[in-house]
């Protein structure tokens, strides 16, 4: 075959159309295919390097983890410190096998107590983002004992497998955040003629998962049946973080601290503690009195709390974090070539309403949606290229609406 009739074995381009055609034993490759192959190889190498850095925590320490959390979570300094230490110790335990086989370091599973909208879920999501590990966020309220209507506890692991794209090795180093853990509290200390299938029974079923065991996981969730193919998953290196509002636990803490009694020492204590900070005095025994069984508290050894957000913290949440709410809305309008601006008075008024209705950080979004919903509907595609949101504008938007029902809706 003449040189003119030669062509690239990959893309089929003829030799006359290429700069270089490299000959192999039974095939040829052109310069363009070489460049493309090199680009693909280089890209894959970069991805592997990035992933190896993210999954290797040897370059991290608790202070760096907390610093990363500070970019996304405003306030809650104590909780961020506690969780940074727990996460660091957990992944250090996984990545560095001890030389002494007789010494086994146990997991540092965490339980977070605090009002709704204070950032419990956000902390778990941010940690997973930093370490590039899969995270499953599950709601404890849908879980029931095996054999009853609802989800089996093993379905928690199915969610984690799906988050890890069914990569078992990756899933076994993931994070599971169990929300609404307080909703599966024991209903009563006294035995009942009916089974507590969504309370203490679920807590009992979670014990082995949290402690570490090999579980047969249904790959698509749902109920187990004999003909189903299961995936074996070891939960020994999965970090469990549980969160709950524990509504009413303040009364238990008050009773333990004997805040209702009269006396000089008690007056000093009352001066230091108000209703918004009483949660900072929480102890594992308070959770036991609330309805969590001692066995599950033993598998969630680290207890921390989230304080109710005050006006200053809510104001910072609106503007300071990397994913701040105002930045999100400004970006959304920017895509439609509309310049959105919030005045300081407008931001203060939004915070004032959030505090008034005790909506927490999650409620800030509800308020902003109420204010901007008409503009997000009308302005895209219009000739308007600028929108200024001030206090008067907000008042005109929320007057006469069902804004007062936001508290019940959230």
User: Residue 367 belongs to a domain with what CATH number?
Assistant: 1.10.8.60
Per-residue pLDDT of 134-188, as tens digits, reads: 888 888 888 876 556 567 788 889 889 988 888 888 888 888 999 888 888 876 5
- Give the per-residue pLDDT at 148: 62
Do 250 and 372 sit in the same domain of this protein? no
Cα distance between residue 285 and residue 393, in whole Å: 49
Q: Are residues 359 and 217 in the same domain?
A: no
d(CA 113, CA 116): 9
Please give the Cα distance from 215 to 231 (Å, whole number): 8
Count Cα neighbours of 224 within 13 Å in the Cβ-side half-sphere: 15
pLDDT score at 329: 93
Report how far residue 132's alpha carbon sits from residue 48's, in angstroms, rounded to the nearest whole number: 12
Q: How many residues does the chain have?
A: 410
Using the structure block, give the residue that is written with the tokens 């909703």. 183
Contact 293, 186 (CB under 8 A): yes
Q: Bridge partners of 139?
A: 179
Token pair belonging to 57: 């925590």
Rounded CA gap, 396 and 388, in Å? 13
Q: What pLDDT is attached to residue 101?
A: 59
Per-residue model confidence (pLDDT) at position 153: 83
Provide the number of structural domains found in the chain. Answer: 3
Q: How far apart are CA 355 and CA 92, in angstroms?
A: 40
In this structure, the dihedral spanned by the alpha carbons of residues 18, 19, 20 and 21, taken in order and rounded to 10 degrees, is 10
CA distances from 82 to 62, 96, 190, 283 (A): 9, 21, 35, 15
Q: Which pLDDT does position 404 carry in this prediction?
A: 45
96-131 as b/e, with b when 16 or more CB fall inside 10 Å? eeeeeeeeeeebbbbbbbbbbbbbbbbbbbbbbebb
Residues 125 and 147 in one domain: yes
Low-confidence ranges of the chain (pLDDT < 70): 1-4, 45-58, 96-102, 145-150, 187-198, 221-228, 259-276, 399-410
Report residue 321: phi and psi, to 5°.
-60, 165
In this structure, the answer to whether residues 75 and 24 fall within a common structural domain is no
Shared domain for 182 and 100, answered yes or no, is: yes
Same domain, yes or no: 167 and 231: yes
Residues 99 and 181 in one domain: yes
76 and 44 together in one domain: no
Q: What are phi and psi of 234, to 5 degrees?
A: -90, 120
pLDDT digits (tens, 9 = 90+) for 239-291: 999 999 888 898 899 888 875 555 555 555 555 566 667 888 999 999 998 88
Q: For residues 321 and 405, state if they share a domain.
A: yes
Q: Minimal CA–CA distance to 210: which of 278, 293, 144, 296?
A: 296
- In the 8-state DSSP scheme, what is residue 143? B
Say whether both 288 and 350 belong to one domain.
no
Domain of 95: which CATH number? 3.40.50.300
Residue ending a domain, among 305, 335, 353, is 305
pTM of this structure = 0.72
Which residue range(s) make up the domain with 160? 57-305
Nearest to 116 by CA among 306, 302, 287, 284: 306
**Dist CA 405 CA 410 (whole Å):** 9
pLDDT at 268: 57
Is residue 62 located within the same domain as residue 179?
Answer: yes
Cα(87)–Cα(92) distance, rounded to whole angstroms?
8
Domain endpoint, select from 288, 305, 322: 305
Domain stops at, among 286, 305, 324: 305
Residues 320 and 337 in one domain: yes
Q: Using CA atoms, how far apart are residues 358 and 347, in angstroms rounded to an integer?
A: 16
């Amino acid at each position: 075959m003449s040189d003119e009739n030669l062509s690239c074995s990959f893309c089929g381009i003829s030799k006359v159309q290429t700069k270089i055609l490299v000959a192999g034993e039974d095939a040829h490759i052109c310069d363009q295919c070489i460049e493309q192959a090199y680009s693909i190889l280089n890209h894959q190498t970069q991805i592997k390097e990035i992933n190896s850095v993210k999954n290797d925590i040897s370059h991290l320490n608790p202070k760096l983890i907390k610093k990363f959390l500070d970019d996304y979570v405003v306030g809650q300094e104590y909780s961020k410190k506690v969780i940074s230490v727990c996460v660091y110790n957990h992944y250090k335990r996984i990545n560095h096998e001890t030389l002494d086989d007789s010494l086994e370091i146990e997991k540092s599973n965490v339980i977070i107590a605090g009002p709704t909208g204070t950032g419990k879920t956000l902390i778990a999501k941010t940690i997973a983002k930093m370490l590039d590990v899969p995270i499953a966020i599950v709601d404890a309220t849908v879980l029931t004992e095996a054999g009853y209507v609802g989800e089996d506890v093993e379905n928690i692991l199915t969610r984690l497998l799906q988050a890890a794209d069914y990569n078992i090795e990756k899933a076994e180093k993931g994070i599971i955040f169990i929300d609404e853990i307080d909703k599966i509290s024991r209903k009563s200390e006294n035995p009942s003629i009916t089974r507590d299938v969504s309370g203490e029974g679920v807590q009992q079923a979670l014990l082995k998962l949290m402690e570490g065991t090999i579980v047969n996981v249904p790959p698509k969730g749902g109920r187990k049946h004999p003909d189903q193919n299961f995936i074996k998953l070891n939960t020994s290196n999965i970090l469990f973080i549980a969160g709950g509002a524990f509504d009413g636990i303040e009364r238990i803490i008050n009773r333990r601290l004997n805040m209702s009694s009269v006396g000089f020492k008690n007056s000093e204590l009352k001066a230091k503690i108000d209703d918004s900070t009483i949660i900072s005095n929480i102890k594992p025994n308070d959770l036991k009195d609330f309805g969590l069984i001692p066995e599950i508290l033993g598998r969630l050894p680290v207890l921390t709390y989230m304080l109710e957000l005050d006006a200053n913290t809510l104001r910072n949440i609106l503007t300071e974090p990397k994913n701040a709410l105002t930045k999100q809305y400004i970006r959304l309008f920017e895509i439609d070539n509309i310049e959105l601006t919030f005045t300081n008075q407008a931001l203060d008024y939004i915070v004032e309403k959030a505090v008034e209705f005790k909506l927490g950080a999650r409620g800030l979004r509800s308020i902003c949606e109420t204010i901007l919903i008409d503009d997000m509907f009308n302005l895209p595609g219009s000739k308007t290229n600028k929108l200024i949101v001030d206090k008067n504008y907000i008042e005109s938007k929320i007057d006469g609406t069902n804004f007062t029902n936001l508290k019940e809706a959230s």
